[in-house]
Amino acid sequence: MLNTVIRGSGSYIPEVEVENDNFIQNTFYFNDGKLIDDSNQNVIQKFKDITGINTRRYVNNSQSCSDIGAIAARKAIEDAGIDPEQIDMIIVAHNFGDVIEGSNQTDILPSIASRIKHNLGIKNEFCIPYDILFGCPGWIQGLIQAHMFMKSEEVNRCLVIGSEVLSRVIDPFDRDTMIFADGAGAVLLENSEEDEKRGILSHAAVSHTSEEVNYLHFGKSNNLEGDGTRYMKMLGHKIYQYALTEVPKAMKHCIDKAGLNIKDVKKILIHQANEKMDDAIVKRLFRLYGLSDTPEGIMPMTISSLGNSSVATVPTLYDLITKNQLADHEINKGDIIMFASVGAGMNINCIAYKA
């Protein structure tokens, strides 16, 4: 049978480390422009208690989304041990393109995927690059799209990249600015003719665009006296409640679709958005199966040191585990793992994968 398998992975963690104390001099306002009447020490401590974030990573002044995406992609190609000219398709998930230092203007002309193909030096004219905008779940949606193409056997190798530079689209007057980070992760998918079913076993995706459509959006600064520049904004409480309600149901649908038992799942690689939220999502998933306890170590986390790098969180997490760079976590041959994410749209998706 023909399996869609991950042949190699790579990631790039930016070198600039930004600790919570770096925000101690910020002036924070509520969304309505009212000054937050609390010390920044308390604001930062409350933020840390909720999200679990201690530090995050930002790119340096000379780097962009396509630059760091190419670094992660090159590592994935090297890990797979293939000739890059044999790649049939490049899918890049991002949300804001190449935002240059000193600006928050989106630049996606040409596409980020085309730029990465150029940066990798791939000459193959039949290697088709394109971008996907799907919020934080973009990289997983890229895997789903690649899998569907590969089932047709028109595509045999696909590079799927998640790359994001959020540090240039955040409002310094908004507490939520402390959540976001930069980073890139990539995998090389390949069609593999094998006797046993493995690789991508099932997938699920759902979208809610009624009142949920603006839970994440571009809006004016919390400092209403600003110059009119718009920044990334989110309705954190609504996202939290939405995720707790809808993500476990989508994950259960994916598991059931694959004919798996929840107890078969060894690891859940979930989008690193908020430590408490992710923990609650996984607990609710197990409750849907009548289980009150979640297995210890089933949900690896990187958010405390890397923050929320959107589309890059899940592929970076996968790469760190497979390269033995995340303590106390490993993925062995035959293990069932889940990829899952939720984000702007609002969109949710997940994949059941057998290593």
Give the per-residue pLDDT at 104: 78
Other C-beta atoms lying within 10 Å of the C-beta of residue 98: 22
**Of 150, 167, 193, which closes a domain?**
193
Residues 28 and 163 in one domain: yes
HSE-CB at 34 with a 13 A cutoff on CA atoms is 4
Q: How far is residue 186 from each of residues 74, 313, 340, 350, measured CA to CA in Å?
A: 9, 10, 16, 17
> Are residues 298 and 159 part of one domain?
no
Its domain, for residue 132, covers 2-193
Average pLDDT over residues 118-142: 97
Same domain assignment for residues 156 and 230: no
Beta bridge partners of 269: 339
Q: What pTM was estimated for this model as a whole?
A: 0.94
Closest CA to 134 of 95, 186, 92: 95
Whether the predicted pLDDT of 8 surpasses 80: yes
What is the Cα–Cα distance from 114 to 120, expressed in whole angstroms? Answer: 10
Q: For residues 236 and 184, which has the higher predicted lDDT (pLDDT)?
A: 184
Q: What is the CATH number of the domain that holds 163?
A: 3.40.47.10
* Total number of domains constituting the chain: 2
pLDDT at 153: 85
- Write down the pLDDT at residue 261: 95
Q: What's residue 334's pLDDT?
A: 95
In a shared domain, residues 110 and 188: yes
Same domain? For 120 and 101 the reply is yes
Task: Give pLDDT, residue 103.
Answer: 80
**185/231 same-domain check:** no
Q: What is the pLDDT of residue 101?
A: 84
Average pLDDT over residues 324-352: 96
User: Do 172 and 278 fall into the same domain?
Assistant: no
Going from the C-alpha of 8 to that of each of 5, 186, 255, the distances in angstroms are 9, 8, 24
Whether residue 189 is found in the same domain as residue 262: no
Tell me the two tokens of residue 241.
Answer: 């409640």
pLDDT value at residue 24: 93
Q: CA 54 to CA 44: how far, in whole Å?
A: 10
Q: Of 144, 173, 193, at which residue does a domain stop?
A: 193
Q: What is the pLDDT of residues 34-90, one digit of tens each?
A: 999 888 999 999 999 999 999 999 999 999 999 999 999 999 999 999 999 999 999
**Burial tier of 130 (Cβ tally within 10 Å: 0-12, 13-18, 19+):** middle
Structure-model confidence comparison of residues 111 and 31, the more confident one:
111
pLDDT in tens, 201-249: 999 999 999 999 999 998 999 988 778 888 999 999 999 999 999 999 9
Label residue 318 by pLDDT band (50, 70, 90): very high
pLDDT above 90 covers a percentage of the chain that reads 87
Distance CA 331, CA 353 (A): 11
